[in-house]
Structure 1
Amino acid sequence: MDLSINGQIKQYQDKITVEQLLRLSGISPGQVVIELNASILSPDLHNKTVLKHGDTIELIQFVGGG
């Protein structure tokens, strides 16, 4: 299954949820906003949303600074 993640094509063997994708990527769910196919995905749907071949995901991370 091919997914476009932040403009890069990544391949996965099996279908995965958004939550699984975040874990595989080493990203804390509380520090990112997920845009799936041009729509913001509510955090309570991360573990229920199964990604499909060809999905486009943008991971928008919060960065602190001073």
Structure 2
Amino acid sequence: MKLTINGQTKNISNAATVADLAAQFCPNRKSIIAEINGAIVPCGQWDKTILKEGDAVELVAFVGGG
């Protein structure tokens, strides 16, 4: 399936849900936010949100600083 992930087009074969994709691209990040086609997906919905061909996905990690 072809997705645009953080602005780059990628062919992804084994990511059916937002949770699957986040596990592949941000395995050690707990403070990330997912946006699909301009809409933020609450983390409680990641397992239920099915990705579709052509979706634009943004995975954004929060980092602390001071």
Q: When the two structures are superposed, what TM-score results if normalisation uses the length of structure 2?
A: 0.86
2:50 maps to which residue?
50
Which letter maps to 2:17? T
Deviates more, 1:18-27 or 1:40-49: 18-27
Structure 1 gaps, min length 5: none
> Does residue 12 of the first structure (1) align with residue 12 of the second (2)?
yes
Is contact 1:18-1:46 (8 Å) kept?
A: yes
Structure holding more helix per residue: 1
Q: CA deviation at 1:27?
A: 3.3
Identical-residue share of aligned pairs (%): 39
Closer/same/farther in 2, CA of residues 45 and 28 from structure 1, 3 Å limit: farther
Q: Secondary structure at the match of 2:30?
A: helix
Structure 2 gaps, min length 5: none
Which letter maps to 2:18? V
Q: When the two structures are superposed, what TM-score results if normalisation uses the length of structure 1?
A: 0.86
